[in-house]
A and B are shown apart, each in its own frame.
Chain A
C-alpha cells in the first residue's frame, strides 16, 4: 500500500513509501515519487552495482532484473515497482562466490574500464534465461541494448557463449 506524505513546498511532490524485494530481501523505503528505481537503489539502498551512464535509457549501464525481466532502472520510477522483485548485479554473486556469468566475464576479459559490466552481466543472465544465446550473432543482437565504449564486445560475446554452455 502506498502512503502519501504531505509535502512542505506544495510544488514538490510528497514522499511515498515503497516496498520492494531487492535481491531476495524485503525492503521498505520512503522516497519522493520522482525518484527513479536506479537512484533508489544507488542513493537510498547503497546498491551501487547498477551504474548511471546516461539516465535516459540509452546505454544499459543501469540494467537490473524486475521479476526476472531486464529493464533500464533509470527509466522507471521506484514507486512503479511496488511489490516487485528486483535483482541487481550484487544479487547474482560476490567476488568470493561469483555467478557463472560473472566468472565468464573475467575469464573471457569481457570488460576494460568495467563501467558497463554490471549492466552487461545482468543482461547476459537474462538473455541466457530467455534462450537468446543460441549463436554469436544472436548474442550480439540481444546484447546490443548495453553499450560498451571500451568496446570489449568480442569478450562479452565469448563470455555469454561460454556461460550459456556453448563454448567452442
Chain B
C-alpha cells in the first residue's frame, strides 16, 4: 500500500515528452523585450573606449548599458559568507576587465535578432595587460574550503611517509569542466506598477535565496524582499551552473526597471562558459605510505585550483581523502593560484569528483606496487568509523557494495597482469574505485493542504532539477497521509511557497522528504483532532494521537480499524474547504554547523553554543563501489567503456525508477570526465578555445554502454525518519579513476591527466 519505494512513473513525464512543460524561455509575455550580453574579448586590462552610438541607433534598440551609464550596483555577499553570490563583483561598474567573457555591454531591443545585431555594432577598444593563465603562479591558502579550514591534519603524515615500507608519490591533473545543461540560463524580469518585481529564472539556486540576492543587488531592504517573486517551475538541467546569483541574473531586472517593460535574457551556449562558473582545473599531488600488507600509514593530498579576485571557490578535492580510509596519518591541503578566468563554482560531485580521480588512481598504483588486488587493498583499509571526525557512521554499507559489485561484474575473472586480457584485437581492462559523497541536509519547509475532495497539495519552494522531485515528494506525502500518490500534487519553484534551500549537494530527498512528511503527518493529525471531537464521527472520543491512516484517505481507530472516517467527510461536516499545516526540517543542525561562518562575531559563536544539542553525533555519507570494463584499440588508442557496474548505499530508495536514472546519469558524467570533457584555455590569451558543444565533448547515446545499477536499499535509521541519504552526485565519484585504472590494466599505461585519449595512450 505504501508508495515510497515503488517505481512510480514521473508525474510530469507526459508534459515533457509532448513539449507542453513550460520552461522559463517558453513563458509567453506581453510587451516582452529581448536582451543580449556583449562580453569582453580580452582576459585582462581596461576598456579604453566603448562606442555604443551605432547600436543605440539600430532598429528596435531600446537600451544599451555599459559601464559608462549603468546604474551603480553593490558588491554581493559571497555564498560562503551567508550570501547568494559566487562572483561578488557586479557587472558594468568600471572599465576593468578581469576575465575574457566578462560583460561589457547589455543591449535590449524589441526582438532577439535586433538585440544580437545591435550588440555587434558596439565598438570596444581595450588596453590589454597580460593575463594570469594556468596554475603556475604563487599558491596561497583560501579562507575556507566548503566551510572548513584549507588545511587538515591528523597524526604526522610526513613522518609516517618517511617510515613507510612502500610509498607512491604522484601528481594528477584534471581540466576545467563546464556544467553544460541543455537549457541555457534564462532570466525574465518584470516590474509591476507598485514596485514589485517578478523574475522567472532557470534557477537551481533556490528561489528564496535568489530573492534575497535580488533584494541585495537592487537595493531593496531585506524586510521588503517580499515584494520580489522568483519563479522556476521547470529547469532544463543545472548541475551547479544555475546555482547562485551571477551578474547575468541581475542585469535584466536593472534594465526592466529603466524601461518599464519586461526584459528577457537568454544566454548563448558560448556565453554560458563565462557567466555561471565552472569546475576549476586541479593539480593534485598524492603521497601514500603503506606497510607490505597494504595497510595505509600515511596519505598526503595537496590540491591546487583556480583563485580569483572576484570570489573564491576552492575545488575541495582533498576532503574525500580525509574520511575515506582508516589511515592514522593524513594531511589534506587546498591552495589557490590566481587566474584571470572568472570564479569557479560547484559542479556535480564538487571535490569528490576530481579528488577521487587522484586518490583512487593512486591506490591502484599502490596495489600494483604491492602486487595486491585493488579491491583487497580497499578492504584492508576499510574505515569502520569516520576517521576524520572520530565518530560512528550513521550507516555504511560499503563492504556490501564491494562484494555485490564484484559479484555482478565478475571481478574474480580479472587477470592481474596488465595487457593480459584481450577480445579479438581489443585490449580489455578491468578497473574499480570507491565512491563516497558528503550529501547534505539543508533547512526546508513544506506546507501540506488537504482539500474538501480528499486530494492534497504540497507546496515547497524547491526546484525539480530533473531528479523527479515532483513525483517522489508526492509519494512521500501520499504515504504519510494515507492516500494514493495520484491524489497528491507537489508544487514547487515559487517564492510564494515555504522556504527551501537550493537543491544542491544531493540534498533534495533528504531535506525536502522529511519536511514534506512532517507537514503531511501534522495535517493528518489536525483532521484526526477535528474528527475525535465530532459526535457524528466514528472516531469520536478516540485519542487523536493514536488514530491511524488506513489508506484511501481514511482514518481509523487504533483499536478498531473497522471504525473509520474520511478526510472528505470530516472536512464536509466541519464546513471546511481545506485544512493545512506547515513544518520545517533541518534548521537547527544547519544553524549549528554554519553559525560561525555566516553570522558575525559574537553572534556566530553564541549561536553555535546555543545549538550544540543539534550537532550531529554521526557522520553521514553516501557510499558505493564502481566497476568498469574498457576496451582499448591498441593501434588507434581509442578507449570504449564497455560495461559499468555501480552498487550504491544511498539509504532508502524512494523511487527506484528515478533513482536509477540519476545513477546512470552520474556514471555517464564520470565517463565524460574520464574520456572527453575538457575546456581548453588559450595559454597566452586566457580565453576559452572551445566554448561550445562540438569542441567540448559530452557523452552521446553511443558512448554509454550497458550500465548495471544496484542499490542496497537499506534505510539509514539515524539520518532522518525516511532513512534516505543522497543519490545525485555519488555515482559520479570514482568512475574516472575506475576507467583510468581499467585503461592501465588493459594497456599497462598509467594516465594521470584527464581526459584520457589516443594522444595519451599512443604517445
Contact partner of A140 among B13, B114, B238, B702, CB < 8 A? B702
Are B19 and A46 in contact (CB-based, < 8 A)? no
Among B21, B22, B660, B662, max chain A CB count under 10 A is at B21
Interface residue A109 (Cβ < 8 Å from any Cβ of B): yes
Give chain A's interface residue range (CB within 8 Å of chain B).
Answer: 35 or more
- Are B239 and A149 in touch, CB under 8 angstroms? yes
Contacting pair A109 B9 (CB below 8 A): yes
Q: Indicate which residue in A7, A89, A150 contacts B466 across the interface (CB closer than 8 Å).
A: A150
Beta-carbon contact of A117 and B704 below 8 Å: no
Contact status B467-A112, CB under 8 Å: yes
- Is A79 at the interface (CB under 8 A from chain B)? no
Complex Cα–Cα for A129 and B427 (A): 37
Query: Max chain A CB contacts within 10 Å: which of B19, B26, B467, B704?
Result: B19
A112 to B183, CA, bound (A): 12
Interface string of A100-120 (1 = CB under 8 A from B): 001101110101111111100
Residue of A at shortest CB range from B467?
A112
Given contacts A48-B25, A102-B17, 7 further A-B contacts (CB under 8 A): A42-B25, A42-B26, A43-B111, A43-B112, A53-B693, A59-B693, A90-B20
* Chain B binding surface, main DSSP class: loop
Interchain CA distance A148-B661 in the complex, whole Å = 12
Minimum distance in angstroms from B598 CB to a CB of chain A: 30
Q: Which residues of B contact A154 (CB under 8 A)?
A: 664, 704, 707
Q: Report B120 CB to chain A, min CB distance, Å.
A: 11
B contact set with A: CB distance below 8 Å: 9-10, 12-23, 25-26, 28, 58-59, 111-114, 117, 180-184, 234-239, 266, 268-269, 465-468, 657-658, 660-662, 664-665, 667-669, 692-694, 698-704, 707
Most chain A CB within a 10 A radius of its CB, from B23, B236, B669, B698:
B236
CB distance from A112 to the nearest CB of B (A): 4
In the complex, how many angstroms separate the beta carbon of B612 from the nearest chain A beta carbon? 39
Indicate whether A113 sits within 8 Å of B59 (C-beta atoms), given known contacts A52-B184, A147-B700, A151-B669. Answer: no
Chain A to chain B contacts (Cβ below 8 Å), 5 pairs:
A51-B182, A102-B14, A112-B466, A152-B664, A153-B664
Instruction: Kindly provide the distance from the CB of A133 to the nearest chain B CB, expressed in whole angstroms.
Output: 13
The 3 closest A-B pairs by CB, nearest first: A49-B19, A113-B466, A115-B236
Whether B19 and A112, one on each chain, are in contact in the complex, defined by CB atoms closer than 8 angstroms, is no
> Does any Cβ of B come within 8 Å of A86's Cβ?
no
Min CB distance B282 to A, Å, is 22
- Name the residue on A nearest B348 (C-beta): A149
Query: Knowing A48-B26, A113-B181, A115-B183 touch, does A105 contact B13 (C-beta < 8 A)?
Result: yes
A58 is contacted by which of B16, B114, B668, B692 (Cβ under 8 Å)? B692
Q: Contact: A89 with B18, CB < 8 Å?
A: yes
B347 CB to closest chain A CB (Å) equals: 12
CB within 8 Å of B: which residues of A?
A: 7-9, 12, 32, 34-35, 39, 42-43, 46-56, 58-59, 61, 88-90, 92-95, 98, 102-103, 105-107, 109, 111-118, 121, 139-141, 143-144, 146-157
A73 to B26, CA, bound (A): 16
B366 to chain A, nearest CB (A): 31
Is there an interface contact between B9 and A147, defined as CB atoms closer than 8 Å?
A: no
Report Cα–Cα, A43/B28, bound state, in Å. 9
Contact of A143 among B12, B692, B701 (CB under 8 A): B701
In the assembly, what is the distance between CA of A54 and CA of B117, in Å?
Answer: 18
**Beta-carbon contact of B701 and A157 below 8 Å:** yes
Q: Are B693 and A94 in contact (CB under 8 A)?
A: no
Give the residue of A49, A94, A151 whose beta carbon is less than 8 angstroms from that of B704: A151
Structural contact, A148 and B16, CB atoms closer than 8 A: no
Contact yes or no, A113 B182, CB < 8 A: yes
Known contacts A48-B22, A48-B25, A144-B700; decide if A116 and B13 are in contact (CB<8 Å). no
Nearest residue, chain A, Cβ from B179: A149
A54 CB contacts on chain B under 8 angstroms: 269, 692-693
Residues of A within 8 A of B661 (CB): 109, 112, 150, 152, 155
Chain A residue at minimum C-beta to C-beta distance from B465: A113
Which residues of A sit under 8 angstroms from B668, Cβ to Cβ? 151, 153
Complex Cα distance A121/B114, Å?
Answer: 32
Please give the distance in Å from B701's CB to the nearest CB on chain A.
5
Q: Contact check: which of A50, A94, A109 meets B657 at CB < 8 Å?
A: A109
Question: For residue B668, which residue of chain A has the nearest CB?
Answer: A151
Question: In angstroms, how far is the closest chain B Cβ from the Cβ of A57?
Answer: 9
Docked-complex contact B14 and A95, CB < 8 angstroms: yes
CB–CB B269/A56 < 8 A: yes
* Complex CA distance for A143 and B699, rounded to whole angstroms: 12
C-alpha spacing A121/B467, complex, angstroms:
20
Whether B19 and A90, one on each chain, are in contact in the complex, defined by CB atoms closer than 8 angstroms, is: yes
Q: Is the CB of B113 within 8 A of A34?
A: yes
Q: In angstroms, how far is the closest chain A Cβ from the Cβ of B581?
A: 31
Q: A112-B466, A114-B234 are in contact. Are A106 and B9 (CB under 8 A)?
A: yes
Provide the bound-state CA to CA distance between A159 and B662, in Å: 17
A122 to chain B, nearest CB (A): 9
Q: How many Å from the CB of B28 to the closest CB on chain A?
A: 7
User: Which chain A residues lie closer than 8 Å to B692 at the CB level?
Assistant: 54, 56, 58
Q: Which of A53, A117, A151, A156 sits near B16, CB closer than 8 Å?
A: A117
Closest chain A residue to B664, Cβ basis: A154
